[in-house]
Amino acid sequence: MRFPWLIFLYLFFPLAALAQNGTITGVVTNIESKKPLARASVFLSNSSAGTATADDGTFSLYSVRPGRYTLVVRILGYESYSKTVLVGDEPIKLKIELAQKPLMLREVDISSSADWKKNFEAFKKEFIGQDDKAKYCEIMNPHILNLAYNQTKKILTANTDQFLIIENKALGYRVKFLVDSFSVDHINEIVSSNGSQVFEELPGNEAQKKEMA
């Protein structure tokens, strides 16, 4: 099923724009050493609520609209953390411990710049889509993408270790994606994806914001 991730922007962002009044606080530490982890990304997937941990590992998310969310914590070199949270009137306090990823040598994909560009264009076509709104989207940091194409199976795969940032200046929003996995099977015409995303508002006019409603 072809379902570009950008569609989440149109489906979920209006919910985040409503009145918000929940609070989530916590601390992120190394599960073995118990030392705090600074600058870890902490966010509620499919929302505009996100932050980074301080030097002491603490974080705070304020003014969160009541509802059920998936809280995600990511930092380079550590296993990802996710937890379903139900935000209401009572503050939520979390103690999050992350385990380090085992050191693994990634297989180097030797390809030309022309091959990378071809793979990127194929990724962009399926990830963002091709409708009129997608034409206004720009991937700001494309080279963080880990792209590979299997010539025999005709399968394109992609993932990221950092946020893939996409801006749509026509609508006035930035979307930050953590792409755990993404694949395009050209033989069976199957597109699959797994990951999370957070939204940010760009400076824009009222006409842009009304178009989202």
- DSSP bridge pairs for 176: 165, 198
Query: What is the model's pLDDT at position 102?
Result: 84
Same domain, 148 and 171: yes
Query: What is the model's pLDDT at position 14?
Result: 46
Closest CA to 79 of 93, 56, 95, 96: 96
The rounded average pLDDT for each run of 10 residues, N- to C-terminus, in the chain (213 residues) is 49 46 95 96 93 97 94 93 94 97 63 84 91 86 93 94 89 89 94 91 60 46
Range of the domain at 208: 112-212
Same domain, 26 and 81: yes
Query: What is the model's pLDDT at position 169?
Result: 80
Query: What is the model's pLDDT at position 153?
Result: 94
Same domain, 134 and 207: yes
Same domain, 35 and 118: no
Last residue of a domain, one of 98, 131, 154: 98
Same domain, 79 and 117: no
Q: Give me the number of domains the chain comprises.
A: 2
Torsion of CA 14, 93, 181, 2, to 10 degrees: -20
Last residue of a domain, one of 64, 98, 132: 98
128 in any annotated domain: yes
Q: Which helix or strand (DSSP H or E) is residue 116 part of?
A: helix 113-128
Query: What is the model's pLDDT at position 27?
Result: 98
87 in any annotated domain: yes
The answer to whether the pTM exceeds 0.85 is: no
Query: What is the model's pLDDT at position 2?
Result: 46
CATH number of the domain within which 21 lies = 2.60.40.1120
2 in any annotated domain: no
